[in-house]
Amino acid sequence: MESILTKYANLLVHYCLEIQEGDWLYITTTTAAEPLVREVYRSAVRAGAHVETDLSFAERGRIFLEEAGEKQLQAPPRFHKHAMEEFNAFLNIRAPFNLREDQNADPDKVKIRQQAIAPVQKTYFERTATRDLKRNLCQFPTQAAAQEAAMSLEEYENFVYGACKLFEPDPVKSWLEVRKSQQQIVDLLNQRQEIHYKGEGIDIKFKTKGRIWMNSDGQTNMPSGEVYTSPLEDSVNGTVHFSYPAVYMGHEVEGVTLWVKDGQVEKWEARRGQSFLDKIFQIPGTRRFGEAAIGTNYDINRFTKNILFDEKIGGTIHMAIGQSYLQTGGQNKSSVHWDMIGDMTKGGMIFADGEKIYENGRFLFLD
């Protein structure tokens, strides 16, 4: 019988990354994900790909930030840079040993490092926007991630694999059905010009004329299940409260409310984590929105403090401050892209050009 990791690997290689003979595939993860890496490697080599891997050990990032001098911090990782420029496919498998290991890093060193890798990130965003670089972000269950999600490792494994539809007889077929269903949503939204999110603590409008709503069907993220766009930068107006905790760079902020006028976040408030929120809003580009989205994956039915899953929770909306997505037509630039999530299952509504298309966490027009 095909193992769950074999199914996972085949889904990643053949559906998510669409590996072709002769492709160069770059895999980054930690040594904790070796069992999945082995199966992805096997599947990709069978498909005729050239495969290179970068398996990080525990606390590599923390040690680097603690010990590196300025010249080392300023030097972008050479092989990663080459892969972003020249490879055909990139798989990033999240498999953390410790989700807080970088939390106390020197902020000045972090800033130098972010500036050094910014050109590499620019290349990444440009190539993934056109799928010149096929990429996927996925998760391998580890004890650290399970603890963060308040689950046992076995429970977390079942959660991750279930969200990826790996318990289905044919996961690819299941994701193609997601693609078909979500295409109805983006087809409608791409014909409308103004979107209005309204719910508990949420009353915010934005325009999307000339922008593109994307169907996130599991190819770039596994799991997925969302539709998203980048709003016109100066068109966002209103108030938005995010009922779920917002997690960024190991920091957790709760009860975030933002007041927005003509695209600019003019006031912000958090029940917990206000000082960290204050620091983030000093970073260029963070006071405008780079993304507005709607989560549609109803297999993800609990909050896990992992944005790969949480932003796709069925019955939620999310908005991201900072960097836009080039593929949607977004123009905001920032070193930050921070998704914040709001519940829409308790009376939440979405209007498109004044027409109610969504209520209580569900689209009204879907079959």
Give the pLDDT confidence of 20-36 residue by residue, as tens digits: 999 999 999 999 999 99
Same-domain check for residues 17 and 131: yes
Same-domain check for residues 95 and 183: no
Task: Give the domain range for residue 338.
Answer: 171-363
- Of 362, 310, 297, the closest CA to residue 341 belongs to 310
Phi-psi domain of 99 (left: phi exceeds 0; alpha: psi -120 through 50; beta: other): alpha
Taking only the tens place, the pLDDT of each residue in 49-91 is: 999 999 999 999 999 999 999 999 999 999 999 999 999 999 9
Same-domain check for residues 117 and 227: no
CATH code (residue 36): 3.40.1830.10
- Of 250, 238, 203, the closest CA to residue 347 belongs to 203
Same-domain check for residues 84 and 177: no
Same-domain check for residues 135 and 235: no
Same-domain check for residues 99 and 45: yes
Task: Confirm if 285 and 263 have CB atoms less than 8 A apart.
Answer: no
Q: Chain-wide mean pLDDT for the chain?
A: 94
Name the strand (E) or helix (H) holding 162. helix 153-163
Same-domain check for residues 208 and 126: no
* 245 falls within a domain: yes
The predicted pLDDT at position 365 comes to 87
* 49 falls within a domain: yes
The amino acid occupying position 171 is P
Burial of 286 (0-12, 13-18, 19+ CB in 10 A): buried
* 273 falls within a domain: yes
Q: Is the pLDDT of residue 360 over 80?
A: yes
- Torsion sign over Cα 246, 250, 251, 252: positive
The amino acid occupying position 23 is D
Domain count along the chain: 2
- Of 304, 349, 351, 307, the closest CA to residue 361 belongs to 349
Q: Is the pLDDT of residue 191 over 80?
A: yes
Task: Confirm if 91 and 138 have CB atoms less than 8 A apart.
Answer: yes
Neighbouring CB atoms inside 10 A of 281's CB total 15
Same-domain check for residues 27 and 83: yes
- Of 107, 113, 62, the closest CA to residue 279 belongs to 107
* 163 falls within a domain: no
In angstroms, the CA 212 to CA 228 distance is: 8
* 157 falls within a domain: no
* 197 falls within a domain: yes
* 200 falls within a domain: yes
The predicted pLDDT at position 301 comes to 87
The predicted pLDDT at position 107 comes to 84
Same-domain check for residues 210 and 252: yes
* 165 falls within a domain: no
The amino acid occupying position 27 is I
* pLDDT class of 249 with cuts at 50, 70, 90: confident
Looking only at Cα atoms, what is the longest distance across the chain? Answer: 58
Q: Is the pLDDT of residue 367 over 70?
A: no
What's the CA angle centered on 172, arms 171 and 173, to 5 degrees?
Answer: 90
The predicted pLDDT at position 2 comes to 65
Average pLDDT over residues 167-181: 95
